[in-house]
Amino acid sequence: MSQELKNDRYLRALMRQPVDRTPIWMMRQAGRYLPEYRQVRSQAGDFLSLCKNAELACEVTLQPLRRFPLDAAILFSDILTIPDAMGLGLYFEQGEGPRFKNPIRDAKAVAALPVPDPEDELGYVMNAVKTIRKALNGDVPLIGFSGSPWTLATYMVEGGSTKNFSIVKSLMYREPKVMHQLLDKLAQSVTSYLNAQIANGAQAVMIFDTWGGVLSPRDYQEFSLRYMQQIVDGLVREADGRKVPVTLFTKNGGQWLDIMAATGCDALGVDWTTDLATARKLTGGKVALQGNMDPSVLYAAPERIREEVKTILASYGQGPGHVFNLGHGIHPEVDPAHAEAFIKAVHEFSPSYHK
């Protein structure tokens, strides 16, 4: 799999090594804001069919890179592939988001859950990773990813998206032991899933803890961070003679960045509710930081977008260890020309921070 990377700026930044400018990629950069994505999506028939077709998943992964000078590609997939492979019957309801036919509600259901073999039940993801890595031809690195155990558990127990997390939290408080059994199984599954992505060509991995921020500080440590720690401890950290960096991202988790940095990960994603200067102070230079523009800024005029980029660069300050990104995924309604203005601004203003 070894091939020379023409642009390793993103990997260097994650390792806090010097770069000539701040690298940039966008969460959900392959997605609905691009007309060419919508075309391929309709060709695939539905979202899951798109994820399961390696050629089409590769095509949509590469689309943003054809348009914009980004520093990384991210595997096109979904965080719910693992619960789907566990037999929960994932489907997508129009306008409702993901749903499961067989949600997990008790100890018996947890005990019956298999730990999926990533090369078998999730083989379609590995095919996509291999196909994309080959097609990238060393232009930029490929990021693999997974949802965190807690975030996956919220969907599995609730049976889909939720606003108040009442079912999953009542299970957590009433039967913590059952919750821990579920999270442990998910941590094992995520570890083997990410290691398989690395074996098939992912050059960095990211764990999305989208719903960790709905927990109290004590519960966050017990039910979310503990299992991300388990994954970090079990990951392969080198491939192709190069370190494979690991990024953790807890949305609304700015107050926990110090304990997240102590897991031994290489980088932390930061959302827009935390100032990067604060994040840098909290983490004491232990990790790189990724973020953190509010995706809604992309609705603004290009001049306003440029101002925001300047503010965020100044907030992080001088030196390596910053990957520019949005604080969460790009919204489907964003004009691609505004995404382009954002990327150009990072290219224009960031070199002075790396002198």
Q: 328 among the known binding-site residues?
A: yes
The radius of gyration of the chain from alpha carbons, rounded to an integer in Å, stands at 19
Q: 107 among the known binding-site residues?
A: no
Q: Is 155 considered catalytic here? A: yes
Give whole-number Cα distances, 322 to 34, 73, 243, 268, in Å. Answer: 26, 17, 17, 10
Q: Is 174 considered catalytic here? A: no
Q: 31 among the known binding-site residues?
A: yes
Contact yes or no for 303/284 (Cβ under 8 A): no
Q: Is 242 considered catalytic here? A: no
Q: 210 among the known binding-site residues?
A: yes
Contact yes or no for 264/233 (Cβ under 8 A): yes
Gap between the Cα atoms of 138 and 116, Å rounded: 30
Q: Is 78 considered catalytic here? A: yes
Q: 304 among the known binding-site residues?
A: no
Among the options 21, 28, 99, 133, which is catalytic?
28
Gap between the Cα atoms of 205 and 194, Å rounded: 7
Q: 155 among the known binding-site residues?
A: yes
Among the options 10, 155, 193, 227, which is catalytic?
155
Q: Is 133 considered catalytic here? A: no
Q: 299 among the known binding-site residues?
A: no
Q: 278 among the known binding-site residues?
A: no
Among the options 32, 105, 242, 304, which is catalytic?
32
Of 304, 230, 314, nearest to 280 by C-alpha is: 314
User: Beta strand 288-293 with 238-239: parallel, antiparallel or unpaired?
Assistant: unpaired
Among the options 12, 16, 21, 41, which is catalytic?
41
Q: 242 among the known binding-site residues?
A: no
Gap between the Cα atoms of 227 and 182, Å rounded: 11
Annotated binding residues for substrate, written as ranges, equal 28-32, 78, 155, 210, 328
Hey, which residues are catalytic here? 28, 32, 41, 78, 155
